[in-house]
Structures are given as structure tokens and as C-alpha cells.
Chain A
């Protein structure tokens, strides 16, 4: 028993001491925080308001097109050609010409920019003209704008889950979906990431030829399990680091961003925007913040349950897959040779990932149930289902089957490993590997 601890210690320390481990542990959370912060940051900091000069030959639009947050419209009373000459010396960025016959020729709008006109800006200006043109046309057709406004209805709903005690509990399906997606992806990635680390570790020992020295001191099964557990602990360490750092980084960015949003809201107020507009601006950013929905889901399911299940299913799934990866590693002499044997290991991982995407849509379907029970798919698919709420008996059954599953795969892998690590030379066939399982001692 003491020996397996020594092996775990070595496998763990040699990996955790590597620079690459720390680079990945630190970089990933900052990337996540960045991905989440950059769009908000850009939205807040788009301070460069564009000034658009409009030469309205039709005379229909004057003062009807209102300036927006980042676009100021200015109507000028000059012929287009003259205005064009003056553009270079004015503070305006773009000059727009609305032709006289705009009602019949809506394609006749012309834009001239100092610099090339961005797609977004072009789209905004076109939209503004289009909306106004539509109003004018409706008016001409004697349709009351007020009636039309009244007919613009928006339906929005709040979703609830009926509890056993008859109470309604608000369920944030967006939050659950995001959380499910994160679970699915993280477990999918880790199966490959740490599974292949185990495999490469086994191949390394075999190609280094240290394997025979090792197994004259410890049993092959101890060596295999020591490696699997050591690498698994590396994975857990990395998750904890990621979790803590991502939480810290995103809390920091949220704080930073909400400060910025407040600031911006205040300047909006100063520049004369009304209260409603400011509130709308603020809530827009709130809806952009995925953490809000997730924290709602976490409240519903209970954070402790999510974390415990995550680690249980991570460990179970990891043991299943990494023992298979170890068996593949033992049968080959380098990672290129391994490709052929990896297929039966990677296919279930891929399948569970794709099933997971279907499960997010229908977390209570039959497919979802069975996928979250079958040990080769349950580690990923049960975690995908979990944020939507899964009865405890299903979690327990799934975990029980998972334990049976990894006992089966580690047993099988141990049999293959024990023989495989001493085989050099010819690449074995599937038939031979099957025979190894039945070798005695």
C-alpha cells in the first residue's frame, strides 16, 4: 500500500512541477475572464461617436432621424457636391445624400466617408433611414402610427418548476443550459486531456525500458493504478486552480465592469438621457452577464450537490477512461501506434459529448435517461442533465453503475496492461490483445 502512495506521489509531483502545468492553470481562467469581459468592455468604451452629415434633397427626413448613443446626425442645407468638398475640413465622418425621389427609389442613398465606412455604421444609417421611410409610407397610406404601435406586442415569460410541495420554483433554463454546457465540455476535455496523459506515461515507461525494473518492485496493477490516481489528482488540482482563479478573475472583472457601467450611466444622465434610458442600458449589461443565470440554477440545485456530483462523476468517468487509455498505452510502443487502438476509447467519449448536446434540449427524454445511466456515457451526460434537476435515485443508480463500470474496465485494463508492458517488437493485433486478458498470472 505504501508503494502505491510512492507511485502516486511521483506521478503527481513530476507533472505538477512542469512549467506547462502552471501555464495552463493560470492562462485558462484569464482567457475565460477575457472572453467574458472583452465584449462588455468594448461596448462600454465605444466612445468614438460618429458624426453624420445628411444632405436631404427630399426634405422628408429633416429632424426626424434622431441622434443615437454613438451616432450624431446633422442635417445641412448645401448641395451634395459642395458638402462633399467641405467634408474633409469638417468634423463630420460621413456624408449621406438622400435623393429627391427616395420614396420611389429607395436604393438611391449615397454615403461618402473620410475613411472607409464600417459595415456596422453603414447598417445603422441605413436602418435609421429605412425606419423613417417606412413611417412616411405608412402615413401616406393613411395608417395611424399609434394603432401600429399598440399592435407591437412582446411576450415574455418566466419559467417555474413545480415542486413536490406544490410550490413553484423559478427555474432559469438559460442558466441551466450554460452550466450543462460547461459541465459537458469540461468533462469531455478532461477525459481526453488526462486520459492521454496516462497513456503517454505508460508508453514512456515502456519505451524507456524502465518498466521491467518497476514491476520487479511493484505489482503491475499497483503501477497502473498509481499512475492513474496520480494523474487524476493532477486533474483535480488543475480544476481547483481553474475554479478559484476563474471565480477570482470573473468577480474582479464583474466588479470592474459594473464600475464602468455605473460611470457610463452617470455620464448618460449628465448628457440628458432620461431615467428610463439609463435603466435600459444597465439591464442590457445584466442580461449579458451569464453568471446571473448560472447562480440562479446553482441556488435551485444547491451548490454543494453540484460540486459533489461533479467530482464523483469526474472521478468515476476519469477512472473508466484513463484505465482504458492505460491499456492502450501498454499495448503499443509509441503514440502513433496508439491511434488505431484509441478508436474504441474515443468513440464513447465523442458520443457522450454529442448526446449531451441533444440532452441540453430535452433533459428529461428517454435518451437522456439512458445516456446518463450507461457507464461509458454517464460521466458526461449525467452532469449535463444535472443542472436541469435530476431525481436523487437516478443520480445514485447512475453512480452505482459507474462504479461497477470502472471496476470492470480497470480489471480488464489491468489484465491487458500486465502482459502488454512486457511486449516489444511486433504491434499486437486485436486478437492477441483479447488473448492477453485470459493469460494466467
Chain B
């Protein structure tokens, strides 16, 4: 799979600090890419550079194999974290304006917008003033503005912030549908559950640097600690040279549950055959770390280093 976007050694300095310090990421075509990191890590700086709002001091951005140029504006749809609309303008007129600024012809934009209005069942909003819309309605309008020109790459900065659960679900479905159609989506977020659910690849930025980068599975594998959760009956020793028990507990129906670690990193089959010498196994699961845990481990660990 080729990359739609590559950032190569991007550096961005402001007067008092360096926002990006040699950041490189690769975003595969057709994937959903999570850009993670604590506040102030440099996510928005990177997104602004990709959107050509600012230029990098060093390094470069490659979009579809070409150096980033003004014409690429039309290939990108951007929903910023700080998002708004002209309050005194009518919804339809405003969307038409924004679509045309993204390089669409008026007739084409009108047709596409109508389709979205039917899809979201908001036909009667066309002539409403934006200031008369509820927040949720404005969010839908903003989302349409982001994608109406059918960009190849969509960048959503904290897309779920401020969304109620219904709109958040709608957004999630739309993101997945866009992916189906081959669109690449980059989104930055704090909400790790949405990363878990949606992302194929991630990059974690902390203190202006990429500290973690790769496919979801690969990253998770890197953070596996060779621990397993088992349910069983019988007598389990605390350790035996192959595994150790981290903790154990009694379950309701006479079952026992334990977290164990594969201390010698033996193949799983060997671990299981060792276990069944002692107990009768009812279930056996590898503990895969959640992104939440990984995030806290990576970012929080560094924070602890500072203390």
C-alpha cells in the first residue's frame, strides 16, 4: 500500500519554542490514521502545515508523491478543532461559498450539497441563518463543508469534541463510509476509545517529536508484556520457571481467574501445555494493551521522568 501523505523531518519553530522537531510520519492511502498526543504536543502545528496554513522551517510534506503545493488545497478537507461558521449567512449559501473556495464549480457544488442535505435529512435548513441552528446542527453543517468537495485526504482535528453521542455515532459511520470509498482520514484526538475503534495506523506525538508510529496491531504488539488472563479450576502454583502469577481472584461460579506472565517468553503452546499440567483451563486470553494504557505509559512515563 502506498502512502498518500509523508511528512519528512518537519521542523517548525516559533519565537519561544519548537513546535515540531524533526517529525516524520507516513499515512497509507485509504487508511484511518490517528494522530495522538497530549495538548501542546504539536499535533495542530503539523496539521496546519499539511493544510498549508503555515510553512515548515525545515523538512517537507509529500502528498501523493508530490511536494505539497497550493493546488493540493483542493485534495484536502479540513475540520479544525476551532471551528465556526459565518453566523449571519444562510446555511445553503455558506456551504456553497465554502465549496467554491475549495475549487468546486457552482453547479457541481449545488448538486453535491443537495445530496448531502437529503442524506442528513436537513432539506429545510437551506435557507436558515446559521445563528438559528443548534450546536449539533452546526456540527453537521461543518462536516458537510469539510467533505463536500470529495477530497482524497480528510483531516479532522478533535472531531468528536462537543458532539453528542448521536452525532458522534453519525460522524463515526460517515468516517467508515468514506474509508470504504477509498478516502484517507487523519484524525487527531484524545479519545482513545475512538482510536481503538477506527484507526488502522497511529502516530503519537509528544513534546514536538514522534514517539510512536505504526500500524495499530504492530504498536500494540510492541507494548505487550507477555501476560495472559486465564480462568481455571484446580491448583495453580505462584511460579514455576515458565510463568508467574501476577494476581488471582475467585469468580462466582467456582472458577478462578489469574493474570500470569510468560517469564521465559516461551511459545504459547508450550505455556498452555505447562499450565494444563497444573489446572483445568476454561479460558485463555492474551492481554493486549489498550491505547489508553499505551498513551499513559508513553506520555505519562515521560512526565514522570520530569518529576
Contact = CB atoms under 8 A, between A and B. Distances in A.
28 contacts: A3-B101, A6-B100, A7-B101, A14-B86, A14-B88, A14-B89, A209-B80, A210-B83, A210-B84, A210-B85, A211-B84, A212-B80, A213-B78, A213-B79, A213-B98, A213-B145, A214-B101, A215-B53, A216-B51, A216-B53, A216-B73, A216-B80, A217-B98, A422-B53, A432-B15, A440-B55, A441-B55, A441-B57
Contacts of A14: 86, 88-89
A202 to B, nearest CB: 13
B138 to A, nearest CB: 11
Contacts of B88: 14
Nearest to B77: A216
A217 B57 contact: no
Dominant secondary structure of chain B at its interface with chain A: loop
A428 to B, nearest CB: 11
B13 to A, nearest CB: 9
List of 9 A-B pairs having minimum Cβ-Cβ separation, nearest first: A441-B55, A209-B84, A212-B80, A208-B84, A217-B101, A216-B51, A216-B78, A210-B84, A209-B82
A10 interface: yes
Contacts of A211: 84
Interface in A197-240: 204-205, 208-219
Contacts of B82: 209, 212, 424
Chain B: number of interface residues, binned into ranges: 20 to 34
A235 B76 CA distance: 36
A6 B101 contact: yes
A209 B51 CA distance: 16
B15 A435 contact: yes
A204 B86 CA distance: 8
Contacts of A441: 54-57
A408 B206 CA distance: 40
B217 interface: no
Interface string A150-193: 00000000000000000000000000000000000000000000
A53 to B, nearest CB: 67
B43 interface: no
A208 B142 CA distance: 13
Given A210-B84, A213-B79, A422-B48, 9 more contacts: A6-B97, A209-B83, A212-B78, A213-B145, A215-B53, A216-B80, A432-B15, A439-B15, A440-B57
A303 B122 CA distance: 56
Nearest to B97: A10
B123 to A, nearest CB: 23
Interface in B98-116: 98, 100-102
A387 B52 CA distance: 50
A217 B52 CA distance: 9
B87 interface: yes
B83 A216 contact: no
Interface of B: 14-15, 48, 51-57, 70, 73, 76, 78-80, 82-89, 97-98, 100-102, 142, 145
Contact of B102 (A212, A217, A432): A217
A7 B101 CA distance: 8
A208 to B, nearest CB: 4
A208 B101 contact: no
A205 B84 CA distance: 8
A335 B87 CA distance: 17
Contacts of A439: 14-15
Contacts of B102: 217
A441 B97 CA distance: 26
Interface of A: 3, 6-7, 10, 14, 204-205, 208-219, 422, 424, 432, 435, 439-441
A212 B83 contact: yes
Contacts of A210: 83-86
A161 to B, nearest CB: 52
A209 B145 CA distance: 14
A10 B86 CA distance: 11
Contacts of B53: 212, 215-216, 422
Contacts of A435: 15
Contacts of B48: 422
Contacts of B101: 3, 6-7, 214, 217-218
A219 B55 CA distance: 12
Nearest to B54: A441
B57 to A, nearest CB: 6
Nearest to B74: A217
B89 A213 contact: no
A213 B15 contact: no
A6 B93 CA distance: 12
A208 B52 CA distance: 21
A309 B16 CA distance: 48
A14 to B, nearest CB: 7
Residue among A204, A209, A211, A213 having the largest count of chain B Cβ atoms under 10 Å: A213
A181 to B, nearest CB: 37
A14 B130 CA distance: 14
Nearest to A207: B84
A10 B145 CA distance: 17
